[in-house]
Amino acid sequence: MKISVLGSTGSIGKSALNVISNFKNCTVIGLSANKNKSLLNKQVKKFKPKYIAVGINELKNISLIKEADIVLIAVVGSSGLIPLINSIRLKKRIALANKEALVIAGELISRLLKKYKAKIVPVDSEHSAIFQCINDNDKSQISKIILTASGGPFRNHSYKNLSKVCIKDVLRHPTWRMGKKITVDSATLMNKGFEVIEAHYLFGIPYDKIEVVVHPQSIVHSGVEFIDGSIIAQLGITDMRLPIQYALTYPKREYSSIKKLNLAEIGKLEFHKLSTKNFPCFELALSAAKISGSMLTVLNAANEVAVKKFLDNKISFIKIPKLIEKAMNRHKVIKNPDLEDILKVDFETREYVEEIAR
C-alpha cells in the first residue's frame, strides 16, 4: 500500500507517520510540509518518499498523489481544497483530516465524489466514530447523529471572563493535544460548528438531524441514533492515532499497541446540553450552514484570518466572532458556487477581514 501524507509535519501528519511506521506492507510515496523543513528532512531520511513538496503552492502538484493508493490530507485550512479535488478526480482513497475544505466547498465536493466515485474515510475523531457506527446501515434508518463536544477550555466561563483570556489559556485544551489553529477553533466552538457542516456533507444528513452534546471526557467520540431508538456509539482513548489508523486500514482493522480504554478506571461519563450563549462562533457557523452556498466560504476565510490575528496577538479572543459576523453581513450569496467562485470569495473575504482588523 502506497500512502501520500500531505501536511506531514503537523500534529496529524506526525501521528500518521507513527502509525505507518508500525505497518509492514506500507510505503510512503509522498510527503508535503508547509514550513517545517528540518522535520521534513528527518521524515524524508526515514521514509524515503519518491515525491516531496514544500509550501502551499506545491500542494497543487498532482505528482505528489498520482501514484498513491491512499492520500492522507492533513494540511490546515483552505489549502486542503485543491489537493482534495485532485485526489477525487484521480479516484483515490482519501483519508481526510482537513475539515475546512468540506466547509468551504461541501456542495462541490459532494458533486465531484458522485461523479468520480472516489471515497473519503474521515479522520476527524467524531466523524470517524459516526462513519464506524453507520457502517453498512441504510441511511434512511438514521434518526439522528449525536456529535459529542468536549466543550473546550471555556465551557464554564462567563462572557466577561472570555474578554480577558489570553493565547496561553486558549491553547490549553482539556482533553486533546492538537495544532494551534484547531485548538483556537475548539475554544471558540467554531470547530464544533465546522464539524456539524462536515457531518452534513460527509454523510448526507440534514442539519436538523445533527445534535451536538457536551461530553467533557471525550471518550464517546460520537454516535448514531436509529429509527428504532437504538444508539450505536464509538468509544476510545483520546489519541488521534486511532482514527488515523482506521482510515488507513478500512474496511479492515489491524492490531495496534495504543493504550486500551479502561472503563472501570474512568468510572463515569457525563453528558450535558450545549449552551451556545458564550460562543457566537458556533451560532455563526450554523447560520452560514443554513444559508449555505458561498456563505460557508466566507465563514471559513474570515475565521482563518481572525484566528491568525489572535495568534499573532493583534486582536482579542472575543473579537474573532465580531470580524466573522461583519464579513458575513456584507456578503452577497452565490448559490451552488463553482471552484472559481469559491477561490474568488475566499480571496476577497481575506482582504476585507485583514482591512477591518487593522
Rank residues 78 and 150 by Cβ distance to Mn ion and give the closer one: 150
Instruction: Give the Cα-Cα-Cα angle 244, 4, 180 (nearest 5 degrees).
Output: 55
Among 235, 258, 238, smallest CA distance to 176 is for 238
- Cα–Cα distance for residue pair 127/208, rounded to 1 Å: 17
Rank residues 180 and 344 by Cβ distance to Mn ion and give the closer one: 180
Which triple of cell numbers denotes residue 127?
466523524
Phi, psi of 308 (to 5 degrees): -60, -45
Cis, peptide link before residue 321, omega less than 30° from 0: no
Rank residues 126 and 346 by Cβ distance to Mn ion and give the closer one: 126
Phi, psi of 146 (to 5 degrees): -110, 105
> CB 178 → Mn ion: shortest distance, Å?
9
> CB 218 → Mn ion: shortest distance, Å?
9
> CB 151 → Mn ion: shortest distance, Å?
13
First-to-final CA distance of the chain: 49
- Cα–Cα distance for residue pair 274/245, rounded to 1 Å: 30
> CB 221 → Mn ion: shortest distance, Å?
8
> CB 334 → Mn ion: shortest distance, Å?
28
Rank residues 282 and 352 by Cβ distance to Mn ion and give the closer one: 282
> CB 207 → Mn ion: shortest distance, Å?
18
Q: What is the DSSP letter of 250?
A: T
Rank residues 125 and 297 by Cβ distance to Mn ion and give the closer one: 125
Identify whether the C-beta of residue 265 lies closer than 8 Å to the C-beta of residue 254. no
Q: Which residues contact 13 (CB under 8 A, 6 or more apart)?
A: 5, 6, 7, 33, 72, 74
Three-state secondary-structure class, residue 142: strand
| CB neighbourhood size of 312 (10 A) | 9
Residue closest to Mn ion when measured from CB atoms? 124
> CB 243 → Mn ion: shortest distance, Å?
9
Rank residues 107 and 198 by Cβ distance to Mn ion and give the closer one: 198
Rank residues 118 and 130 by Cβ distance to Mn ion and give the closer one: 130
Rank residues 155 and 331 by Cβ distance to Mn ion and give the closer one: 155
Q: Which residues bind to Mn ion, rule: CB under 5 A?
A: 124-126
Which triple of cell numbers denotes residue 290?
443554513
- Cα–Cα distance for residue pair 235/247, rounded to 1 Å: 16
Among 110, 111, 116, 74, smallest CA distance to 92 is for 116
Rank residues 124 and 304 by Cβ distance to Mn ion and give the closer one: 124
DSSP 36-77: -HHHHHHHHHHH--SEEEESTGGGG-THHHHT-SEEEE---G
- Scanning the structure block, which residue is given the C-alpha cell 469559491? 342
> CB 220 → Mn ion: shortest distance, Å?
13
> CB 181 → Mn ion: shortest distance, Å?
13
